[in-house]
């Protein structure tokens, strides 16, 4: 990244900080039983050991036959896909950036799946430096958000993309995620001092919530919105996991916001959230050991709301970071991320309502002698989406660092 980074893009980099740098069990193995700690417990979630990448972390491990690399639109330069959403078997969207370099933030990337192939759709990418979030409430109701010299949002109505400016000409905001539902959209991010949640009402934007800390992800269902992130007072502070819940007092309009009581986990940042119902919500991320830095060890973080309390959930991966979460119901929850011991392959965790199993995608890039960066064959970031009505999954991400970063798409069938 260039040294003349403006503030919004610096926070966009922070939004990717669970990846290795801003510069186990296989399918069919016995699932690990789900375990929870108390809602107010401290330390590593579930007591898991904190481990960092080893020099051989990218060594190949057996890949699940159900996850296959899938050809997307060719993106030039350093490129990454950071989020994916699907409204059906013939409609999915993936967002990220392309044409990046050591001295350039690159340009936004937006791809569309039409049931046959992925194609790039630059008309929706706008002037964002990169797109960070996408949400599809339907084939005619898709939102993307991103960061550049000013915050960027755009809406797809099935015919064309319409750029939106939730903060006018203000530049001190960055948007990291969006959730579309019922003709509304909830935009998550922060300004220079606080986390912000902004609602698109169908007619215009309104400020829904401002809170100390910053928001990284948001999800919405009828009468409920969940927003997650970190409660740090400054972007470079450690803080801990933060969750806010917006609910409808009467009808479906979100009228009340409350901060959830979460386990005290210093260094914990939540990067994804998904809800199967008002009493079944999952949030995922990582816990970073004190000290910071691109190679600081991280521990996967999973929190679950059961209608009574948020509790830490132990998963069968001791080190790494989790980025995305999706599913079709209480007995079908999928999480994507990176296992520190096998960082050359995307990690997938599945909860079947009783226990956890883990699987891996194929090795994305072979290790090469003399490669430019130690992380050149590491998966940096993943996103995951369930395909409604089809039972499949899409996953996207990036591998490598700096000039050698490249995007990838995986399909699960």
Beta-sheet strand order (sheet of 379-386): 67-69, 406-412, 393-399, 379-386
How large is the average pLDDT for residues 176-182? 97
> Helix, strand, or coil here: 340?
helix
Task: Please give the Cα distance from 212 to 206 (Å, whole number).
Answer: 18
Match 């750029």 to its residue by tokens.
163
230, 246 contact by CB (below 8 A): no
Give the confidence band of 296 by pLDDT, cuts at 50, 70, 90.
confident
Give the confidence band of 345 by pLDDT, cuts at 50, 70, 90.
very high
pLDDT of residue 149: 78
User: With 50 as the cut, is the pLDDT of residue 51 above it?
Assistant: no
Task: Please give the Cα distance from 257 to 69 (Å, whole number).
Answer: 41
How large is the average pLDDT for residues 2-6? 35
- φ, ψ for residue 236, nearest 5 deg: -100, 5
- pTM of this structure: 0.86
351, 333 contact by CB (below 8 A): yes
Secondary structure of 270-288 as H, E, C letters: EEEEEEEECCEEEEEEEEE
| pLDDT tens digits, 318-328 | 999 999 999 99
pLDDT of residue 295: 67
Task: Please give the Cα distance from 278 to 220 (Å, whole number).
Answer: 10
Count H helices, E strands: the chain?
Answer: 1, 30
First to last CA, the chain: 36
pLDDT of residue 18: 40
* Residue 379 structure tokens: 């998966």
* Residue 353 DSSP one-character state: S
77, 99 contact by CB (below 8 A): yes
User: With 50 as the cut, is the pLDDT of residue 264 above it?
Assistant: yes
| pLDDT tens digits, 73-127 | 999 999 999 999 999 999 999 999 999 876 677 899 999 999 999 999 987 777 7
Q: Which helix (H) or strand (E) holds 7?
A: helix 7-15
Percent of the chain with pLDDT over 70: 83
- The lowest-confidence range among 3-12, 60-69, 209-218, 270-279 is 3-12
């Amino acid at each position: 990244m260039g040294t003349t980074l403006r503030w919004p893009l610096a926070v966009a980099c922070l939004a990717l900080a669970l990846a290795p740098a801003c510069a186990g069990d296989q399918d069919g193995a016995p699932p690990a039983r789900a375990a929870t700690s108390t809602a107010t417990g401290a330390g590593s979630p579930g007591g898991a050991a904190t481990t960092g990448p080893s020099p051989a972390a990218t060594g190949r491990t057996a890949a699940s036959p159900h996850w296959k690399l899938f050809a997307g639109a060719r993106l030039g330069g350093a490129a990454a896909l950071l989020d994916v959403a699907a409204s059906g078997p013939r409609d999915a969207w993936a967002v990220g950036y392309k044409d990046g370099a050591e001295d350039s933030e690159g340009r936004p990337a937006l791809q569309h799946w039409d049931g046959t192939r992925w194609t790039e759709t630059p008309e929706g990418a706008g002037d964002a430096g990169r797109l960070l979030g996408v949400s599809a409430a339907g084939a005619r109701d898709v939102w993307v958000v991103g960061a550049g010299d000013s915050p960027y949002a755009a809406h797809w109505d099935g015919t064309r993309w319409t750029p939106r400016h939730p903060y006018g000409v203000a530049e001190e905001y960055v948007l990291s995620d969006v959730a579309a539902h019922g003709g509304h959209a909830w935009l998550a991010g922060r300004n220079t001092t606080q986390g912000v949640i902004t609602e698109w009402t169908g007619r215009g934007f309104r400020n829904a919530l401002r809170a100390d800390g910053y928001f990284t992800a948001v999800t919405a269902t009828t009468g409920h919105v969940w927003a997650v992130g970190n409660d740090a007072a400054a972007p470079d502070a450690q803080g801990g996991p933060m969750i806010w819940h917006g609910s409808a007092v009467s009808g479906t309009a979100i009228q009340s916001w409350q901060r959830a009581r979460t386990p005290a986990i210093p260094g914990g940042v939540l990067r994804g959230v998904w809800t199967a119902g008002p009493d079944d919500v999952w949030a995922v991320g990582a816990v970073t050991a004190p000290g910071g830095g691109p190679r600081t060890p991280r521990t996967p973080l999973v929190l679950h709301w059961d209608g009574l309390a948020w509790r830490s959930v132990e998963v069968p991966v001791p080190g790494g970071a989790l980025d995305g979460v999706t599913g079709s119901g209480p007995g079908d929850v999928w999480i994507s991320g990176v296992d520190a011991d096998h960082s050359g392959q995307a990690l997938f965790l599945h909860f079947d309502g009783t226990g956890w199993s883990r699987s891996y995608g194929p090795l994305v890039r072979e290790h090469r002698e003399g490669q430019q960066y130690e992380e050149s064959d590491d998966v940096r970031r993943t996103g995951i989406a369930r395909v409604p009505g089809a039972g499949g999954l899409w996953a996207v991400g990036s591998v490598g660092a700096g000039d050698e970063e490249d995007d990838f798409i995986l399909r699960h069938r």
